[in-house]
Amino acid sequence: MKHTLYHGTSSVHLDKILESGLVPRYNNDSDWECASRPDMIYLTSAYPLYFAEHSITNHGGEPVVFEVEVDSSRLYPDEDFLEQATRGIQYSETTKDLYNDLQGLDMAQRTEYFRDSLELHKSMYDRSLTRLGNCCHKGIIKPKRIRRYVIPDMSIRRMSDPQIHMSNFKFMSHYYADLIHEMFNK
């Protein structure tokens, strides 16, 4: 099954992306406090502008948002979704051994646990998309999978300042979908 999703980054990377595609960083250099997987490209249905703004803070340039078409066989859940979805759950006899390692860990440690064990949770990418709006893609997204891109103008940029959390996505996902539509059709 194919999915249309979005990736936000800095225009500093634009020419290289158009030539080579979206390429995982394959190293441990990360702009995030809790580093993401170096072999993944993080995608979203709701927050590409937020991620683009974060990227320009660290790399300069202008925000750029890519619309990509990817195959579900390469998708994995976002580790932040797994961390949020397993907070405070009552473990059954079948799941308590799987999540026993989480007992007593703080949020950053739980996120790291899921980042490092993402392969075990691959089938949950669809829940990650429908409940948080984010997932990740293993490996390169080739240039032919990039449908289009946009450098959003300031009026659009001012309309996106989300909290990336399941409860925010539950209530605001339609707003973010409309914002993406407006961004690409302005």
**pLDDT (0 to 100) of residue 186:** 77
Say what the pLDDT of residue 92 is: 60
Write down all domains in the chain, each with its CATH number in brackets.
Answer: 2-184 (3.20.170.30)
Q: Tell me if the pTM is above 0.75.
A: yes
User: Is residue 23 predicted with pLDDT exceeding 60?
Assistant: yes
Identity of the amino acid at 91: Y
Query: Distances from the Cα of 7 to the Cαs of 48, 98, 105, 171, in angstroms?
Result: 5, 31, 30, 21
Token code pair at residue 81: 């979704």
Q: How far apart are CA 43 and CA 114, in angstroms?
A: 17
- Residue 39 near residue 140, CB atoms below 8 Å: no
Residue 165 has pLDDT above 80, yes or no: yes
Report the distance separating Cα 115 and Cα 69, nearest Å: 24
Would you tell me how many other CB atoms lie within 10 Å of the CB of residue 160? 21
**Is the dihedral angle over the CA atoms 86, 91, 92, 96 positive or is it negative?**
positive
Locate all alpha helices (DSSP H) within 21-124, ordered by sequence: 48-59, 79-85, 107-116
Q: Decide: 23 and 140 in contact? Cβ < 8 Å.
A: yes
pLDDT band at residue 68 using 50, 70 and 90 as cut-offs:
very high
Q: Choose among 15, 65, 19, 61: nearest CA to 42.
A: 65
Q: What integer best gives the mean pLDDT of the chain?
A: 87
What integer pLDDT is reported at residue 88 of this predicted model? 67
CA distance 67 to 57: 21
17-21, 55-59, 101-105, 180-184: least confidently modelled range? 101-105
